[in-house]
Copies of this chain bind each other. A is one copy, B any other.
């Protein structure tokens, strides 16, 4: 039965999401811009409308995301903060300066207005902080039971400075693979809250806007080739996407991957793998090997990159595959997420 119906895993960011994207969306919507499947689309506006303009400089970046997280308020943020950070981060992963955003609210009849106000206030705060202007909006209300409290959709528009080109296609053999900090904080903070687990130290979502960190990274290491934010599907899925799109292999050292003790403990308890858990304030970078030390220094010098780490490198071997080397020296393949462990995590 479920074969011909939408399953939760179609929204996981993993294998079934990919099948839906490739088998349906690209089939009907495909074009050279969309087909790249990066965090944000980057393209030049068409020549016909830029009569007399020197056009080499101007590249638009566009991204969109819907946010359906439950609960809408969580330790370290809320659905509004998440929506703005997610939009900023998708643009930042292409090196774009985030400039404009549209916001669409789908509200369930009966939602307390004070909840909506709290969410709107936190959106406004992050937007002001990163210099993002909300230029267009829409609100729909559905009957009680027709939606779960609040969904937010955003589209982000940014401009990519001349000379900046970040893409999985730029990744090269020998590139160092870096992460900007500990993994799994967002997903496990939500899960701990949902499951009512008590841990001694309160784990918070890492939800944060990464545009400042990216600017600092690109200034220090201009040969940064590709950035991704490992949201749904976690680090494992982001690395698999890069490997697949680059047509190269990635090998990472399990010992080098920073994971908080609370995240590790909660994952063990719930039977989850932190490498598949969503992050909302972290990035993965592929940087030319000789630029890696400067990239590390630049990230660690930023409040959001203090726990940055080099976790592996890009290889010619096993193209399209990600391999993890364990502390005992065993190599295992790290697949894309299959199924859905954490529905409605973002």
A interface residues with partner B (beta carbon < 8 Å): 4-12, 17, 20-21, 24-25, 28-29, 31, 33-34, 40-41, 43, 45-46, 49-55, 57-58, 60, 62-68, 70, 97, 99-100, 102-114, 116-117, 120-121, 123-124, 127, 133-143, 145-148, 151, 153, 155, 157, 159, 161-162, 343-344
Contact = CB atoms under 8 A, between A and B. Distances in A.
B151 A148 contact: no
Contact of A7 (B109, B116, B146, B151): B109
B147 A49 contact: no
Contact of A133 (B5, B34, B105): B34
A138 B66 contact: yes
Nearest to A40: B136
A215 to B, nearest CB: 14
B106 A29 contact: no
A146 B70 CA distance: 10
A93 to B, nearest CB: 13
Contacts of A109: 5-8
A110 B8 CA distance: 9
Given A6-B107, A54-B52, A107-B10, A140 B68 contact: yes
A142 B344 contact: yes
Contact of A46 (B21, B99, B161): B99
A142 to B, nearest CB: 5
Contacts of A67: 140
Nearest to A5: B110
Given A28-B124, A45-B159, A147-B147, A57 B62 contact: no
Given A49-B159, A50-B57, A66-B104, 14 more contacts: A5-B112, A7-B109, A11-B142, A25-B120, A34-B135, A53-B53, A54-B54, A62-B102, A63-B102, A64-B104, A64-B138, A66-B105, A70-B146, A145-B145
